Each structure stands twice: as C-alpha cells, then as structure tokens.
C-alpha cells in the first residue's frame, strides 16, 4: 500500500508517493502547507493522476545498485549545498545521484527520470531514512520541480524573500553574502514586513503577464514553509561592502545578476531555452538592483526606500 | 580551430550574447556580448572548423573594407575570444 499525495507549489501540481509505512513520511512537515489531496492506493499509480508537472515514486528499499552499474557519469556538481552526479542510464534514462556531499555518495539516493514525466523514481534504499533521507528527498523534488517547470515561465531561485507593502522583495547573493541577514533587517526595521521564504522561493510569470513570488516547501535552515504568494516588487543582488549603496541594473547586467541564482540544468537545451525566456521576461517587467551593504538597519532602509 | 562545445548565442533586449550552457561549460560564469559583426562571424563559424582567414573572408564578404583592416579586426576578435576561452585549437 502506498500513500500518494498531490501538492501545489507555485501554482504547479506534483505528486509524491511511497509506501504507507515509510519512515520518510515522518519529517515531511515542510510539504504539509502545500498538500492538495492525500490518498492511499494499491497497484498502478500513473494513470490515475490529474494533470501535473511530475510524479515521484520513492522506493525506500532498493538502492538502485544495478541501475547505477550500467550508467555512465556525465558530470558532477559539488557545491556547498549538495553533491549531484549526472548520469545516463543503460537505456538512455537520465539519472541523478544525490547526496549531502561527495563523502556521503554511497548513502545517496538515485533519481531516475522516466520517459513519462509521471514516472520519476527515487531509489532511497541507501539513505537509511532519517536526516540524509530527507535531504535527498528534498533535493530530488527541487531538482524535478526546476526541471519540469523551466518551460512554464517558472524559476526556482536561491534567494531569501521578504514581503512588505504587499509586495515580495527577493534578495540574491552567493552563499555567505548575508541574504538571510538582510531579510532579518527588513523584518526588524520595515513596519509590517514578513518572511515568505528563506532559501528557495518560486518566481513565476503568470499567464496575464504579472510576475509573482511564491513560498515553497524548501527554505534552507529556516523552517518557513508558507503557501502564500505576492506580486514580485523587485530583485536585489547583495554584496558585502564597507558602505551602503544601491543602483538599478538594466539589460545584460540585470540578466547576469539574476541568472546565477536560478536552479537549472542549462546543459539541457529545452530547459536552457525556458530559463532564458523566463529571465528575459522578468528583467523586462521587474526592477533588478545591486545593493552593496553593511549588515545594519540603514541598509534595509536604503534598500526599501529605493525599491518600493 | 573551433568554437568550444557548450556555448549558445542568445538574444537579450536586442543584443546578442554568448552564454556557457553545455555540460562542457558548467564552470563558465561569464556572459559575453557580441556586436553585430561579431555575431555575424559567430553565426557562420560556430559549427565548423575555421581559421583566421575564414574570419577575414567573412568580413570581406559582408563589409566594404580593405583586406588589411579586415585582417586586423579578425585578429583582435580572435584574440579576444581565445582569451575568454571560447575557442579551442
């Protein structure tokens, strides 16, 4: 018996299912605000699904070892957030091995993208449930989300978002730049400001052309999983400096400020095209700024006064 | 020589840019802007072997300039592309 839930994030539906008794069901509270339906099912899953961007089945027993042995590594990504090995399987399937870091790869999960987007599978048998299991599951879902929404005017973006005056302000920067710190400064100094998401919000150009920012189940170390949205007010790239100053970016500079923070697999041409279209659309309708700042209240006031 | 794999010419707000997108260019973190003549050259050589003479000939085909000027411009374009890492021998 499997439990199968549907979730709606950024206006896109996806499914996640795994055995009812799986320990991984404990600890997925970050998805709760986004649940649309909850079902218990037996047997074939795929044909019963309503329209969705993807569906993931989690195999909590198998580690996918045989698949692994017949696959070829194309590239490895090892940054401060995760280790991901991109592979192609014996039948040409796209496979990702996901773990916290390179040392943990033997206990990683194997994510297989089927020919049918409703047939993605995560082999999590080596993850031993618990903390690393959830890390792998969250990263697998983020990866699938970025992969399957890239052509739908949607960006999963590495950023922290504060909402003020009814609009969402997205703060970008390399790890350690102080995105979360700057958001805190808004929460403490800008009346009525609140935190929408602290790590991976969704930015989307809606069918009517408006650009919105959504909370998501992925928020880094800050447990902030709000199923809320706000019109995107501005995007601000941060860098540390011995002073506070802010300027507006346009054209290629705006594009270059935003692009590195979008989760993407640019080596897939279809995704890269989707990403380019979405980035172009956003910089045409939303202000993109560069803030050089100190971690102080003046930075928040300067930023808010300029971008609001 | 050739343009390395993984580079894509795109249009952004009326300008032509090159971004590194293939698995081969995962670590390429720049965006290169091309003026119209550089974009014209790129479009004609990005999928084949070429050398300095190829670029000179392309410029002469399109622009009414002296060969010496075309040679100088071609050299400087090629040097620039090599220094950024767009070209392989």
* Mean pLDDT of the region A26-32: 93
A150 pLDDT higher than 70: yes
Interchain proximity A267–B23, CB inside 8 Å: yes
pLDDT at residue number A265: 79
pLDDT at residue number A44: 66
Q: Which two tokens stand for residue A130?
A: 């618990």
Query: Which of A260, A262, A266, A286 should one mutate to test binding to chain B, selecting the residue with the greatest count of B CBs within 10 A?
Result: A266
- Beta strands A2-9 and A12-19, pairing class: antiparallel
In three-state secondary structure terms, A258 is helix
Question: What is the b/e burial string over B4-20, where b = at least 16 CB atoms within 10 angstroms of the residue's CB?
Answer: bebbbebebeeebbbbb
Interchain proximity A272–B13, CB inside 8 Å: no
pLDDT at residue number A45: 65
Residue in chain A nearest B10 by alpha carbon: A276
Of A74, A86, A255, the CB nearest to B31: A255
Does the beta carbon of A255 lie under 8 angstroms from any beta carbon of chain B?
yes
Single pTM value for the model: 0.92
Question: What is the b/e burial string over A216-240, where b = at least 16 CB atoms within 10 angstroms of the residue's CB?
Answer: bbbbeeeebbbbebbebbbbbbbee
In three-state secondary structure terms, A43 is coil
Of B13, B21, B33, the CB nearest to A267: B21
Residues of B in contact with A260 (CB under 8 A): 29
Sign of the torsion formed by the C-alpha atoms of A122, A125, A126 and A128? positive
- Give the residue range(s) of CATH 3.40.50 domains in chain A: 154-307
Cα(A163)–Cα(A96) distance, rounded to whole angstroms?
35
Q: Which residues pair with A83 in a beta bridge?
A: A78, A99
Cα(A139)–Cα(A100) distance, rounded to whole angstroms?
9
- Cα distance from A134 to chain B (closest Cα, Å)? 27
CB pairs under 8 A between A and B: 40
* Mean pLDDT of the region A252-256: 94
Residue in chain A nearest B34 by alpha carbon: A252
Q: Which two tokens stand for residue A44?
A: 């074939």
Interchain proximity A252–B13, CB inside 8 Å: yes
Q: Which two tokens stand for residue A149?
A: 């929404």
pLDDT tens digits for B29-68? 889 999 999 999 999 999 999 999 999 999 999 999 999 9
- Mean pLDDT for chain A overall: 93
Q: Which two tokens stand for residue A114?
A: 């089927």
pLDDT tens digits for A179-197? 999 999 999 999 999 999 9
Q: Which two tokens stand for residue A195?
A: 């935190």
- Beta strands A194-197 and A160-164, pairing class: antiparallel
- Write phi, then psi, for A196 (nearest 5 degrees): -90, -45
- Write phi, then psi, for B7 (nearest 5 degrees): -100, 140
Cα(B45)–Cα(A97) distance, rounded to whole angstroms?
37
Q: Which of residues 263-282 of A touch B (CB under 8 A)?
A: 266-267, 269, 272, 276, 280
Residues of A in contact with B15 (CB under 8 A): 251-252
| Percent above pLDDT 70 for chain A | 98
Place of tokens 């500079």: A253
pLDDT class for B23, splitting at 50, 70, 90? confident
Cα(B19)–Cα(B4) distance, rounded to whole angstroms?
12
Per CATH, which fold does A154-307 belong to? Rossmann fold (3.40.50)
Q: Where are the alpha helices (DSSP H) in A70-221?
A: 130-149, 179-189
pLDDT at residue number A267: 80
In three-state secondary structure terms, A134 is helix
In terms of phi and psi (left: phi > 0; alpha: psi -120 to 50; beta: otherwise), the region of A273 is alpha
| CA distances from residue B34 to B4, B30, B56, B64, B71 in whole angstroms, order as listed | 16, 13, 17, 20, 18
User: Judging by beta carbons within 10 Å of its beta carbon (0-12, 13-18, 19+), is residue A205 exposed, middle or buried?
Assistant: buried
- Cα distance from B76 to chain A (closest Cα, Å)? 23
Lowest-pLDDT range of A46-55, A160-169, A267-276: A46-55
Please name the residues in contact with B85: beta carbons below 8 A apart, sequence gap of 6 or more.
B4, B28
* Mean pLDDT of the region A139-166: 96
Interchain proximity B17–A252, CB inside 8 Å: yes
pLDDT class for A49, splitting at 50, 70, 90? confident
Contact (CB, 8 A) for A164 and A308: yes
pLDDT at residue number A114: 81
How many Cβ atoms from other residues are within 10 Å of residue B76's Cβ?
A: 10
**Domains of chain B by start residue, with CATH:** 2-88 (1.10.10)
| Percent above pLDDT 90 for chain A | 80
């Amino acid at each position: 018996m499997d439990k199968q839930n549907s979730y709606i994030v950024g206006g896109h539906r996806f499914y996640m299912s795994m055995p009812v008794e799986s320990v991984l069901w404990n600890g997925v509270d970050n998805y709760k605000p986004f649940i649309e339906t909850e079902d218990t099912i037996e047997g074939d899953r795929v044909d019963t699904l309503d329209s969705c961007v993807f569906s993931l089945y989690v195999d909590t027993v198998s580690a996918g070892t045989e698949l692994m042995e017949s696959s070829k590594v194309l590239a490895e990504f090892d940054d401060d957030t995760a280790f991901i090995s991109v592979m192609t399987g014996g039948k040409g399937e796209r496979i990702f091995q996901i773990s916290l870091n390179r040392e943990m790869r033997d206990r990683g999960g194997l994510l297989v993208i089927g020919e049918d987007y409703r047939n993605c599978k995560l082999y999590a048998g080596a993850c031993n449930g618990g903390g690393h299991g959830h890390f792998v599951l969250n990263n697998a879902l983020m990866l699938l989300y970025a992969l399957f929404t890239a052509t739908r005017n949607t960006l999963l973006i590495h950023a922290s978002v504060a909402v003020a005056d009814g609009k969402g302000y997205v703060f970008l920067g390399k790890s350690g730049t102080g995105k979360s710190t700057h958001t805190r400064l808004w929460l403490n100094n800008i009346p009525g400001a609140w935190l929408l998401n602290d790590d991976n919000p969704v930015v989307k150009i809606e069918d009517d052309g408006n650009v919105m920012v959504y909370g998501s189940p992925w928020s880094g170390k800050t447990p902030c999983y709000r199923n809320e949205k706000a019109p995107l007010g501005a995007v601000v790239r941060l860098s540390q400096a011995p002073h506070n100053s802010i300027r507006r970016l346009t054209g290629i500079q705006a594009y270059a400020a935003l692009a590195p923070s979008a989760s993407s697999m640019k080596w897939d041409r279809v995704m890269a095209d989707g990403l380019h279209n979405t980035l172009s659309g956003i910089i045409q309708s939303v202000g993109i700024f560069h803030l050089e700042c100190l971690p102080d209240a003046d930075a928040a006031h300067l930023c808010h006064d300029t971008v609001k | 020589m050739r343009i390395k794999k993984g580079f894509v010419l795109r249009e952004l707000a009326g300008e032509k840019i090159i971004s590194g997108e293939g698995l081969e260019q995962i670590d390429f973190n720049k965006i290169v802007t091309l003026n119209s003549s550089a974009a014209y050259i790129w479009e004609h050589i990005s999928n084949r072997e070429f050398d300095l003479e190829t670029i000179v000939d392309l410029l002469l085909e399109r622009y009414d300039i002296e060969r010496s000027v075309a040679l100088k411009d071609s050299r400087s374009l090629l040097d620039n592309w090599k220094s950024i890492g767009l070209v392989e021998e």
